[in-house]
Amino acid sequence: MFRKIFLTSAIAAVVPLSLAMAQVPVPPPPASITLGARHGHVTPIRSGFNHTGGGNIDVAQSSPDTLIVTMTGVAVAGGHPCTASVATMNFDLVQDLEINFDSPKLKKAKLVMEGRVIGLLRSEWKGTGSACEGPGCASFSSGTSEIVTLCVPSHSVGGGENLSINDRDGPVEVSIGPGKFTLHQTFSVTATHGKSLRLTKAASAEFAPDPALDPLWISYWEPFHGAAKKDFGFQITIKVVEDTSNGSATSTKATSSQQ
């Protein structure tokens, strides 16, 4: 009897404590990003026998101090008996923003930028079909002064080559103060195919989740059948964090080599 009473009392004491701990609010980050005006455009360029899909620019904030920009699109070009085929998706984003020091204890901060690109490139050798992605670049500036730039590698395939891409670059860091800034981000995917009288496979640059690429353009036996595509695209992540370094950080400019 005593044991039952003891267990009941212990449970009664622990449950309110766990609920109280679960309800403790998470303190806000010391710095935040406020979005301003935005100009985002995706321009398809098409000729011949082609297909484009996607064409999205997603600007999201997972937390007040973090900005994530994702560009997704698909370009496909097939053989045509009378003309060469080209399909291109050009992405361009200009995002104004303001960095705020919300905590009076915050004296120094730094901007951290990372980039990644995930997708598939397919080419075709009978009809000289080729595909490429990039360059994917993001520049952070204040007025006319560039503060930091990051570029993920560019890739291309031809002659029957196929390539699965999962590249990441960064992080690059730079000291930052409160104020107004501009993010400029660009990306491109392209597929081309020469004039062909023969029935050939299509060349494609696939950098968008399903259903951006119409399955009629690829076969069941294509080299990347069953690939997980939910994270496809070019993505830049920007975060403002407290700078705890002893010395003064200097501006960093990092541009990845393009292949």
Q: What is the DSSP string of 156-180?
A: EE-TT-EEEEEEEEEEEEEEE-SEE
In a domain, 250, yes or no: no
Half-sphere exposure in the Cβ direction for 105 (13 Å, CA): 6
The residue range of the domain holding 50 is 28-242
Q: Parallel, antiparallel, or unpaired for β 130-133 and 145-152? A: unpaired
d(CA 155, CA 218): 20
Q: Please give the pLDDT value at position 5.
A: 46
In a domain, 8, yes or no: no
Count of structural domains within the chain = 1
In a domain, 116, yes or no: yes
Q: Please give the pLDDT value at position 11.
A: 46
In a domain, 226, yes or no: yes
Q: What is the DSSP letter of 129?
A: B
In a domain, 20, yes or no: no
Q: What is the residue-wise DSSP string for 214-225?
A: -GGGS-TTSTTT
Long-range contacts of 3-7 (CB under 8 A, 24+ apart): none
In a domain, 249, yes or no: no
3-state secondary structure of 54: strand
Considering the entire predicted model, what is its pTM?
Answer: 0.84
Residue 193 contacts residue 203 (beta carbons within 8 Å): yes
Both tokens assigned to 1 = 């009897």
Q: What is the residue-wise DSSP string for 78-92?
A: ---SSS-EEEEEEEE
Residue 165 contacts residue 120 (beta carbons within 8 Å): yes
d(CA 141, CA 143): 6
Query: Which residues lie across from 34 on neighbouring strands?
Result: 98
Give pLDDT tens digits along the chain (259 positions). 445 544 444 445 545 555 555 567 777 789 999 999 999 999 999 999 999 999 999 999 999 999 999 999 999 999 888 889 999 999 999 999 999 998 888 889 999 999 999 999 999 887 689 999 999 999 999 988 999 999 999 999 999 999 999 999 989 999 999 999 999 999 999 999 998 877 788 999 999 999 999 988 988 888 998 899 999 999 999 999 998 876 544 443 333 333 3
In a domain, 144, yes or no: yes
Query: Which residues lie across from 184 on neighbouring strands?
Result: 94, 139
Token look-up 């930028």 returns 113
In a domain, 233, yes or no: yes
d(CA 64, CA 240): 9
H and E: helices and strands count for the chain: 1, 13
